[in-house]
Copies of this chain bind each other. A is one copy, B any other.
């Protein structure tokens, strides 16, 4: 772990522990009608660690809008379930065909392709069933529940994450224009990261002006995150990355490094990180975890 990853882990450690404790207990539940092998397969990927960036953003935004983590946890879980499902599907042979993820065999390498496909589908459904049924028990009003969960679904859907995956992998959907790399990132990565922030913030009573701040923060943070991801693919070893490096170039993918060069990409990451901080600085004139998170994300590893 590098210095900046360390900083990220320390910053978000409190939320990460709450979150992992929550989903750990959820996965241990008995008599929930889930076939044991499917539970094991979902747990394998859910409990594989990772930064937990999305649930941390959701919990932190909720708390800053007056809703404690114990109430927001089902929404944070939903966000992470959808994200984990997308990773499992993304690693499948018909997609990135990857053997390693977070330093371990990918889900389909461990459980077979059919099970990995179904575990991804099951996690997506579980995300919505869990958030919709549990948030009301935590005292969140139904209107808020519906809106928060809709934000997640729309961010992950055909005009968001899934659409971005299509732009990223389907030759016929690709365009050679300079801003195409922004279109891909905006849908593939930014939509879900922004939804993590906004679906958490909206759980509280919050003005439209403040919501807009969180929205813009999520947009720039998500963009910075994808740019850094593109940079790390070029500059890291497999051991540092926990997955196969140098994949983007091998697959001929349109990345920020391909479009702007390594130095240009680093500058863009920095700019987006600063924009993210600026978006919420009037909410937190004394500084905040969310601001530190944006700074440490842009500084990851390189």
**8 Å CB contact of A125 from B37, B39, B126, B153:** B153
Q: Could you say which residues of chain B place their CB within 8 Å of the CB of A158?
A: 32-35, 38-39, 42, 122-123, 125-126
Interface size classification for chain A: 35 or more
Q: Could you say which residues of chain B place their CB within 8 Å of the CB of A159?
A: 32-34
> Chain A contact residues: over half helix, strand or loop, or mixed?
helix
Known: A35-B163, A42-B158, A170-B115. A89 touches B124 (CB 8 A): no
Chain A 123-163 near chain B by CB (<8 Å), digits 1 or 0: 11111110011001000011101110110011011111111
- Contact indicator B35/A173 (Cβ below 8 Å): yes
Residue on B nearest A167 in the bound complex, by CB: B35
**Copies assembled:** 2
**Distance (whole angstroms) from the CB of A114 to the closest CB of chain B:** 5
Known: A122-B163, A125-B157, A162-B38. A132 touches B114 (CB 8 A): no
Q: Could you say which residues of chain B place their CB within 8 Å of the CB of A133?
A: 150, 154
CB of A172 within 8 Å of the partner chain: yes
Name 19 extra pairs, CB < 8 A, besides A35-B166, A125-B154, A125-B161: A32-B159, A34-B158, A35-B158, A37-B166, A38-B162, A38-B163, A38-B170, A38-B173, A39-B158, A114-B169, A117-B117, A121-B162, A121-B165, A122-B163, A125-B153, A127-B153, A132-B147, A136-B146, A149-B149
**Contacts from A to B (Cβ < 8 Å):** 32-39, 42, 82, 85-86, 89, 92, 94-95, 112-115, 117-118, 120-129, 132-133, 136, 141-143, 145-147, 149-150, 153-154, 156-163, 165-167, 169-170, 172-173, 187
